[in-house]
Structure 1
Amino acid sequence: MAFGGAGVAGRAVAAGGAYEDVCGVLRRVADHWVGAHGEPGDNGWARATFFSGLMALYRLTGEERSLRYARGWAEQHAYGLKGGVATRHADNQCAGQAYLDLYAVDRDPDQIEAIGESVRRMAAGGERPGGDGDWWWDDALHMAMPPFARLGLLRDDAPYWDKLHRLYTHTARAEGGPGLLDPVTGLWFRDKRFLPGGIVSPAGRPVLWSRGNGWVAGGLVKTLKALPRTAAHVPEYRAALVRLLRAARAVQRGDGFWNVSLADPAHFPGPETSGTAFLAYGTAYALRAGLVPARDFGPVAARAWRGLVTTAVHQDGFLGYVQGTGDRPESGQPVGPGSTADFGVGAFLLAGTELALLARGAEARVTP
């Protein structure tokens, strides 16, 4: 994979903090969350997103405390899924991402038995004829695309990727009507209620939710990381990510954040961490992969990181300004320095690991 321009982008990010500085902030935020949660929590999508970020931090630093905490959480749930192996719900399959991360370390087949069987049943298509409409909301792309991509690689089984693409296509461009991907902007509506003619902001503008678009960016990044470059639909996923990031770049705030409502900055204005972190994650990955020009997107990543670190991260590692659970800008309000959530911390860790790799690449290039 080409990394042209990543050095320039890395230097832009490094201007806001060298590699070790980025790692230090990530450790501080992760340690604060772990220290405040001796009980690691359930295996739903929100906590699973945190553990996806924690395992990314483990891959970056190799520090065993992250691995131990993640392994303890997974063992507490016997590497199972909410709803059991028969579940088709993307939220329930999100835990499989962390289980797959742990499997990459331990190589214990029991760790991925449940997620493997759940995805296999959907790929086989036996239980639900024409069942490609499971991912009816854009969050689902983050929750479930990556397990399909990774299990297809592990099983060397193209039908997993074929099913992934059919599910994705239905979400983006539903048969018989518009899908959730806005063909004009490249941004995504959260679900069909927000399509043109549906729910709008108080000012009458479209509701294009920051975290919803962040979920899409995160799902595309994780899928592209898993798929071989030569896989059939990689160009389409890359193009969708780039279009989303270009649209997001045009509405980034001066302080580096994105508003919760991308099309209406007056709709609950103020910094918000979870959407910003996921969009930063997508931007940093696209820079490292050479999908976007460094001169245009390096500053986007740098601004986002500086904004997150200087505004959202407290001195003790508490991460604030995270919008609570929901499906639109109004959800989980008010958002302020004391509002946090597990999935927001996970998004921050994912973004930071990609940004750290950018910074490390830049430092390597200037080392005598």
Structure 2
Amino acid sequence: MRVLMSTYGARGSVQPMVGLAVRLQELGAEVRVCAPPDEEFAELFAEVGVPLVPTGRPVRPMVATVAPGSAEGLAQRAAELMTAQFDTVAEAAEGCDALVATGPLPVTAGARSVAEKLGIRYVHVSHQPVVLPSPYRRPPARRGQPLPSDATDNRALWDLDARIANTMFGEMLNTRRASFGLPPVDNVRDYAFTDRPWLATDPVLDPWRPTNLDVVQTGAWIQADERPLPPELVAFLDAGTPPVYVGFGSMPSAPEDFARVAIEAIRAQGRRALVSRGWAELALVDDQDDCFAVGEVNQQALFHRMAAVVHHGSAGTTTTATLAGAPHVVVPQGADQPYWAGRVADLGIGTAHDASAPTTESLSAALRTALAPETRARATAVAGTIRTDGATVAAKLLLDA
């Protein structure tokens, strides 16, 4: 069986595909991936021997130039993403038996159109639940298209979201479909999602409540990371008590002066600090030996050695920290991050900072909760319930169909 995977986005949209690709290869499938041409993503797939077909522009420099929530240039970016599906992805999918897609709507709607044209199976995957229509929550607002703040009927809001998606992407999609000899679609969002989307999240961390969609929850797609930690980092860890990790992953920015606020709050708790530079390029504030800065490292190994993890609340970081049994302090910035912050608080495995920019005092208070013995005990207990076989489940579903 030959499988093509198409994804576009930051690390949270790319890294889970590595886990699925590895499981598919182990089960005898031939796999290739269309993904952004960022060097770090190319390295991820090269390490596991999965061919990468570069698709679109590099993500990191693009997100660094887009103001949070701004719709400026959105139409051009969407057109580029969709064009890449109809051109690069369509060529890569020739001779394949299935196409698995995740990412923004222009990507997945284009990918399904490619699968339709080639007559192959298509699977839509979401690595977080908030974009899937559900009567239990409001849809997230699309860039430049705010939802009415006083509306409380979630079903009506999801209907409105579908109409907004059609306005934003319908003409663009149907023009490209016409060039493929395909008929127009009248609901871009639901066409891309299908009636049976896959949800690659852990059912304890993210319990999906049944809806009209026949959602298949596979568990999170986790690839075991065997890389050793750098010697200088190990030396810092061994030199004292477990530090508190601070990092915002692939977020292009962090709250103003966040590194200083975080380090002061951590020191106020008598703890050492480990600062992950990430895409926000967080940096140390002085040269004291109780703080250390790192680049991209094996978080699976690292989080086991943390007293707590202060992060932005992406699906990937939240899952990795939960699996490691590390208490959280989540400082959400947008998208699905408030949802994961709420789940951390609901499970009692950490605390969620409110939407305002943290101060030394507010972050200190959050850390006191996270560092409490009862929070650590709860985080340890929940860690034992997190599944690690999600990618295997997904691979078998795909191959057995």
Query: As a proportion of its length, which structure holds more strand?
Result: 2
Higher helix residue share: 1
Q: Which has the higher contact order (CA 8 A, sep 6+)?
A: 1
**Fold shared per TM-score above 0.5:** no
TM-score by length of 1: 0.26
